[in-house]
Structure 1
Amino acid sequence: MKLASGDLSARIQPSEARDEIDAVITGVNLLAEELHFIYSDLEQVVAERTTELIQAQAELRRMAMTDALTGLANRSRLRERIIEALDAAQHGGRPPALLMLDLDSFKTINDNLGHSAGDEVLVEVAGRLRASVRETDTVARLGGDEFAILVPNAHKDDVRAIAYRVLRSLQRSITVGSASVWAMGSIGVSIGSPGDTAATLQRDADVAMYVAKSRGRNNVQLFAPSMLEATQERSRMAAELRSGLETGQLSLYYQPVVALATGRIIGLEALVRWRHPERGMVLPDTFIPLAEETGLIVDIGRWALAEALPQLKAWNAVVPGMRDVKLHVNLSAAELLRKDLLDDVAGTLTRCGIAPEQLVFEITETVLMTRETEEAQVLAKLGGLGVGLQIDDFGTGYSSISYLRSLPADTVKVDQSLIKGIDADEGQRDFVAAVLQLIRSAGLQAIVEGIETGGEAGRLRELGCVYGQGFHFSRPVPADAVVSLFNADFPPA
């Protein structure tokens, strides 16, 4: 009966008669034995295939949860671990902490040395992060040059120690081929509170990380609610700035550049102003960095060019000698990558009947000295149009002597910070004299901005400075007040 029920290990006992029925019984027993072996082999194969399938599923899951380049957890795995840590905190543990890290100079490494070198740097950074944490912590790569570290059951002192170990580990150079590079980072830290979700923990760490970047990079910032409020305020202001550009809240003011020896206006710098209907006049130091951060600076730059050149055409028609006056317009790094920049500049100049030599683009020295191949080509083509190029804010960025002669520029605008105390401090006067001599030696002309007193103007002229700009001559004025500037009598320095 056992055999009939499927038990292939059972056997039918033959009778003593050894008759035909016994022969059938023997055949059935042999068939059962053969089937037993077949099913045993089949069961073993099924078991092996099941094990292989489980292992393959586990490997697929591991791959789905792992960053292919560094072997770290990826974004999905990090979120899973955060949820686990938050759940554990609800059952008596401490809430987790999350560190968000963004490398400060990775784009430069990638651009200068190539993506394979960039990958080597990311792998090395991943190893340093692993070595800086505890076994219970999770290190993840979120994509690009952004990493995260989850510290479960977090104690504030432990989190702080981990953050600064990570920061120190990135201070050491990384050797890539024959080059040594540095991949330092900005770190934002969010320590969880009861009721936090994975989304809020990540949001707060991300906000703190961007604050770290805004405070000079290569530092650690612990999230505070005021940071989120400031971020939300910046988001509101960014939306209002976009709306302001579309609804005509922006305007251009103009500040004269003056020849110190004669008081004659030789240039006008176009400066963007934002008159907000509720906030009033918003300072450029507030909204220009915001525009750069959001990419809106490209639209503002396009608008400024379209606004300034027709205005210059109008002045050319009514102001004697105006065609010898240069219009200075600021050009951001993002605008250098604008595909239609050259066509826009050339077309607007042609439509307005303005000689290219009457337009000067002011570009910060940081942009000029870190320009990549595409940006360098755009600068060369702008120069080929006949447009002037000026180094803006000289003295606030790299100020590298070795770069100065090779920059595609005609003039240098010396930042006002370099002339502070020039009236009373003989050492400062010697320093400014050396800067001016350096600029002249590079075959460039200097314009000093931020001149606020006649004494400063006089000292600068004594030191050989030819051109100046600042409140001593005039504050920036709206377009309809510019003609009267040419009727003003700016005294020689």
Structure 2
Amino acid sequence: MSADNKDPRLAMLVESIVRLSRGELSSRIEPSTARDEVDAVITGVNLLAEELEQVYEQFEKRVESRTAMLRQAHLDMMKMAMSDALTGLANRVALMEGIEEALGQAANGAAPPALLLLDLDSFKNVNDRFGHDAGDRVLQEVAARLNSVVRESDLVARLGGDEFAILLPAASKEVATQVARRALEVLGEQIQLDSLHVTAKASIGVRLGAPGQTADDLLLDADTAMYAAKREGRSIIKIFEPVMLYSRQLRSQMAAELRGAISSDELILHYQPVVELATNRILGVEVLVRWQHPLRGLIPPDTFIPLAEEIGVIHDLDRWVMSNSLRQLAEWRKDFALDDDFQLRVNLSAVELKQLDLVDHVRSLLRALHLPAHSLVIEITETAIVTRGEVEMYSLLSLQQLGVGIEIDDFGTGYSSISYLRELPVSMVKVDRSLLVELNTRTGQLEFVAAILQLIRAAGLEAVFEGIETREQADQLRALGCASGQGYYFSRPLPADDASALLATTRYLRAGEGIDGSEIAPSR
């Protein structure tokens, strides 16, 4: 074939191959009717183009599928990063983003947001009594209930532990208060866990957004209000006020000062006599710690003991009280003719009861100071042993075997029942002062106290009544057969020097009088 008569199909083939190389996979050449070798090549090129097109389509589908999977995985990861794994609520990161967005909308003319911070009351007792699985189920139910009281535009978050938050964009004080009240209502209803019934009440702090605030500012203020609510009582709603910040700063300062006070000479011990009601003989003393602050004066334990527990120094405080009070007892036994049954009663925290070296520490102190074990009574609250944990039970049993007395303090305010106490290695029960407050004003209260005393006796335990403030109360308890008690009617807690002066002069108290003969007024 001459150049002038060159077959045009060859040019078409070259052009088609070039298009295929460029990715134009839909390119095709129509074969001629000649059905010769050129047409055979054209057919081959068309088949190749068709196969390439099919392969590319499959590749595109795979790429689209993989892209969709990656996009979904990214969304899932983002959702996980912004949500709480246990409850499915928003987490702290998501809450902070929500607050920033709501504050931004407020800066552009919308109503400011409100933030509610909730902390469950006594949730630790749920974990301790029923286990962490039950605690997790309670948290999940709390999350569901909180979701049920908010608007669609609101955000419910779990910040960790038993702390929750509700963000209300564009909310008034009335709306925020209404949501807080509804939250308390739904959380006040019992939660049923199989055969168990649990109540998860909460303390709530409310902060209404203000111009110029940051997300951190709003969260800190709501947290401050929430702690103010917890200090005031359970199931309380407190709306933030600027004065609360001062109180929080003061508390933070006091926490820092308390750490140093334990290792310095700022802590002092007072001793309140425990008497035999039939004779007013001094059976022993209860040790009470005070903080002699260089600027604020004498700070009572109700103020700094919870703070010591909160900041983690209660262990050091317990050890200081134990060692110093036992040294004082050793001095008294050396200087005065104390009765053989005279006992020092020392309060012990739940934290200290869990220390593996507690028994060795007590044994070493008693041995070093040449004190008999029966001269020491350790007082523990009901809540400290309600779980009957292995370490706690080991400590109690070992102390009992050592000869140390074990007394349940504040009986009547916690969870214990008489049948429960019979299973514990305790020998004494101190009945809380609250049962005596209405002894002569509330109908049936005297009979109620008598019944409690009989139950304690039936369990083989000794009852000690605290908070005796009048002669009438002492006479009534004596008539009921109560063996011992303590309270302002007999003596206020005394500094070490005054307690020493008392023990040096008598074994019997002049009820209703101080050591100088002056009348002792009731605490209230």
TM-score interval, smaller chain: 0.7 to 0.9
Tell me how far 1:300 sits from its aligned partner. 0.8
TM-score scaled to structure 2, two decimals?
A: 0.83
Match of 1:361 among 361, 378, 381: 378
Mean Cα deviation higher: 197-206 or 172-181: 172-181
Change (3 A) 1:112 1:401: closer
Instruction: Give the corresponding residue for 1:220.
Output: 237
Say which SS state the counterpart of residue 211 (structure 2) adopts. Answer: coil
Query: In 2 relative to 1, CA 234–30 (structure 1 residues): closer, same or farther, beyond 3 Å?
Result: same
Question: What is the match of residue 301 of structure 1?
Answer: 318
Bigger shift: residues 99-108 or 185-194: 99-108
For residues 391-470 of structure 1, the aligned pairs below 5 Å read: 391-397=408-414, 400-403=417-420, 405-406=422-423, 408-420=425-437, 432-454=449-471, 456-470=473-487
Q: State the partner residue of 1:146.
A: 163
| Structure 1 residues 418 and 14: alpha-carbon distance in aligned structure 2, compared to 1, 3 A threshold | closer
| CA deviation string 1:37-87 (max 9, x = no partner) | 443443333233222221221122122222223222222222222222222
Aligned to 2:7: none
Q: Which amino acid aligns with 2:132?
A: H
- Contact persistence 1:369–1:403 (CA under 8 A): no
Q: Is contact 2:272–2:286 with CA below 8 Å preserved after alignment?
A: yes
Residues 115-153 of structure 1, C-alpha deviation per residue, up to 9 Å, x if partnerless?
Answer: 333333322222222222111111222223322221112
2:188 is aligned to 171
Q: Which aligned pairs between 1:50-69 and structure 2 lie closer than 5 A?
A: 50-69=67-86
Match of 2:249 in 1: 232
* TM-fit CA distance, 1:397: 4.0
Check if 1:91 corresponds to 2:91. Answer: no
Give the Cα separation in 2 of the matches to 1:135 and 1:103: 24
Cα distance, 1:376–1:223 mapped onto 2, change above 3 Å: farther
Aligned residues of 2:374 and 2:405 also touching (Cα < 8 A): yes
Mean Cα deviation higher: 109-118 or 324-333: 109-118
Matches within 5 A, 1:323-334: 323-334=340-351
1:4-39 CA distance string (max 9 Å, x none): 765444567999999988887776666555544443
The whole-number CA distance in structure 1 between the counterparts of 2:51 and 2:440 is 110
Work out whether residues 142 and 148 of structure 1, in 8 Å CA contact, stay in contact via their aligned partners in 2: yes
TM-score, normalising length from structure 1? 0.88
> Which amino acid in the other structure matches residue 223 of structure 2?
D
Distance between the aligned counterparts of 1:304 and 1:173, measured in 2?
A: 40
Give the aligned residue type for 1:146. E
Shift of 1:104: 2.5
Aligned to 2:227: 210
Does the C-alpha gap of structure 1 residues 16 and 321 become closer, same or farther in structure 2, counting only changes over 3 Å? closer
Say yes or no: does 1:77 pair with 2:94.
Answer: yes
Shift of the 44–379 alpha-carbon distance from structure 1 to 2, 3 Å rule, reads: same
AA of the residue aligned to 2:188: Q
Shift in CA distance, 395/62, structure 1 to aligned 2, threshold 3 Å: closer
CA spacing shift, 1:463–1:190, aligned 2, 3 Å: same
2:446 and 2:46 map into 1 onto residues whose CA distance is 114
Contact 2:190 2:200 survives alignment (8 Å): yes
Query: Which amino acid letter does the alignment assign opposite residue 345 of structure 1?
Result: V
| Matched letter for residue 241 of structure 1 | L
Q: Go from structure 1 to structure 2 and tell me whether the alpha carbon gap of 1:422 and 1:377 turns closer, same or farther (over 3 Å shift).
A: same
Aligned counterpart for 2:363 among listed residues 335, 341, 346: 346
**RMSD between aligned residues:** 3.2
Q: State the alpha-carbon separation in 1 of the partners of residues 421 and 355 from structure 2.
A: 25
Alpha carbons of 1:53 and 1:435: their partners in 2 closer, same or farther (altered >3 Å)?
A: closer
Structure 2 letter corresponding to 1:165: R
The question of whether the paired residues in 2 share the 8 Å contact of 1:65 and 1:74 is answered with yes
The one-letter amino acid paired with 1:73 is A
> What is the CA distance between 1:357 and its match in structure 2?
0.4
**Pairwise CA distance, 1:189:** 2.0
- 5+ residue gaps, structure 2, are 1-14, 512-524
The question of 1:201 aligning with 2:221 is answered: no
Q: Which residue of 2 aligns with 1:390?
A: 407
Counterpart of 1:319 in structure 2 is 336
- Bigger mean CA offset, 200-209 vs 343-352: 200-209
Identity %: 55
Superimposed CA distance per residue, residues 414-443 of structure 1 (whole angstroms, 9 cap, x where no aligned partner): 344444476899966555555544444443
Secondary structure of residue in 1 paired with 2:188: coil
Q: 1:421 to 1:10 in 2, by over 3 A?
A: closer
The verdict on how the C-alpha distance between 1:161 and 1:373 changes in structure 2, with shifts beyond 3 A counting, is: farther
Query: Which structure's CA Rg is the greater one?
Result: 2
Q: What secondary structure does 2:368 align onto?
A: helix
* Inter-CA distance 457–26: structure 2 relative to 1 (3 Å threshold): closer
Q: 1:276 aligns with which of 273, 290, 293?
A: 293
Q: Is the 8 A contact 1:392 1:414 kept in 2?
A: yes
C-alpha spacing 1:458/1:488, structure 2 compared with 1 (3 Å)? farther
| 1:65 to 1:427, Cα distance in 2 relative to 1, 3 A | closer
**SS of residue matched to 1:237:** helix
Task: State the distance in 2 between where 1:207 and 1:371 align.
Answer: 34
Q: Does 1:378 align with 2:378?
A: no
Asked if the contact 2:129–2:387 (Cα under 8 Å) also holds between the matched residues in 1, the reply is no
Task: Provide the C-alpha distance between the structure 2 equivalents of 1:355 and 1:243, rounded to a whole number of angstroms.
Answer: 32
Q: Quick one: distance in 1 between partners of 2:136 and 2:247?
A: 34
Aligned residues: 493
CA–CA separation in structure 2 for the residues paired with 1:114 and 1:424: 41
Of 106, 111, 118 in structure 1, the residue corresponding to residue 135 of structure 2 is 118
Aligned equivalent of 1:260 = 277
Q: Kindly tell me: are residues 433 and 385 of structure 1, through their superposed partners in 2, closer, same or farther at Cα, counting changes over 3 Å?
A: same
- Provide the C-alpha distance between the structure 1 equivalents of 2:346 and 2:460, rounded to a whole number of angstroms: 22
The alpha-carbon distance between structure 1 residues 415 and 16, as it changes in their structure 2 partners (threshold 3 A), is: closer
The structure-2 alpha-carbon separation of the partners of 1:232 and 1:470, relative to structure 1 and needing over 3 Å to count, comes to: same
* Other-structure match for 2:259: 242
Contact kept? 2:274, 2:285, Cα under 8 Å: yes
- Contact 1:260–1:492, Cα closer than 8 Å, also in 2: no
Structure 1 residues 354 and 233: CA distance shift in structure 2, 3 A? same
Match status 1:487 vs 2:486: no
Assess, with a 3 A threshold, how the Cα gap between structure 1 residues 27 and 341 changes in structure 2: closer, same or farther. same
Which residue identity is paired with 1:211?
A: A
Instruction: Check the 8 A contact 1:315/1:322 in 2, yes or no.
Output: no
Alpha-carbon distance in structure 1 between the residues aligned to 2:360 and 2:59: 74
| Separation of aligned partners in 1, 2:412 and 2:193 | 31
Amino acid at match of 1:412: V
